[in-house]
Amino acid sequence: MQLRQLGDVQVSAIGLGGMPMSIEGRPDEARRLATIHAALDAGVTLIDTADAYHLHADEVGHNESLIAKALKSYGSDASDVLVATKGGALRPGDGSWTLDGSPEHLREACEASLRRLGVDAIGLYQFHRPDPKVPYAESVGAIRDLLDAGKIRMAGISNADPDQIRQAQEVLGGRLASVQNQYSPAFVSSRPELDLCDELGIAFLPWSPLGGISGAAELGSKFAAFEKVAREHDVSPQRVCLAWMLATSPVVIPIPGSSRPETARDSAAAADLTLTADEQAALDEAVGVS
């Protein structure tokens, strides 16, 4: 597995997004655990989660607890796996998402995540989404305080624009390790944030890189250029998509979600797929980036 830099550690070039295993349509626990173990077997050492990845109001942190169980039950050493979680978003249990970026909530959320993950310090803790009710600097300041207190080893932000990235970097004293934004062939509007991370040397973690739970299966039919390259390499369009992202910049570390062992393995294999310059250019043109 190819490695990439995230803050002060190296992780697998392809991560695993845990959300599909804990929200609507989630599989049974046996398949959830098998999916995480398959990713680990394939060399994945970055797993992304959040306390809000759950279905019912009384199961906050469902995905964090699942990942902790999967790591504990894994048959081999998993000490090099970086678990990245997030705080600041909530799911009341009615299918909606709400926000609480207050420093008080972020401190409480971090403590709860520490307990569920069973660790003394969270590897990467990310502010989930800006809360318009709270000044951004105050929310990021709470993450800084957690970093200073040793509750978290690295700090990240998610769903941020370029100004917020720069502001977070300033508030954190130059210690911003990662930015997690939506980015896929169907959603390239985060390209300015990706380019800024490339300029600053900050890891960029595309979420829903294959188009999300509902769109991943249709990636090849929606984007003919990815289907064409996939046929030439005898691989899936999804694997081509992740390889395309990896070739965009060395700071890119996609975190495709999965709920089946076979898709986790296919995503991980993208790190071994090398595209030609012409193929990369054709894919860039197909989605409207350069």
Show Cβ contacts of residue 113 under 8 Å, excluding neighbours closer than 6 positions: 51, 61, 64, 85, 87, 122, 125
Q: For residues 3 and 46, give the distance between their C-alpha atoms in angstroms, rounded to a whole number.
A: 10
- What are the Cα distances from residue 13, in Å, to 70, 155, 183, 191, 260? 21, 19, 16, 19, 20
Grouping H, G, I as helix, E, B as strand and the rest as coil, residue 201 is coil
Structure tokens at 73: 């039950």
Active-site annotation holds for 183: no
CA angle 83, 84, 86 (to 5 degrees): 140
In 172-276, where does DSSP find H-type helix?
Answer: 191-200, 212-215, 219-222, 224-233, 237-248, 261-268
Q: Is 175 exposed, middle or buried (0-12, 13-18, 19+ CB in 10 A)?
A: middle
Q: For residues 143 and 170, give the distance between their C-alpha atoms in angstroms, rounded to a whole number.
A: 13
Q: For residues 44 and 99, give the distance between their C-alpha atoms in angstroms, rounded to a whole number.
A: 30
Q: How many residues does the chain have?
A: 290
Q: For residues 103 and 2, give the distance between their C-alpha atoms in angstroms, rounded to a whole number.
A: 37
Residue type, 6: L
Q: For residues 132 and 130, give the distance between their C-alpha atoms in angstroms, rounded to a whole number.
A: 6
Q: Are 256 and 278 in contact (CB under 8 A)?
A: no
Catalytic residue set: 53
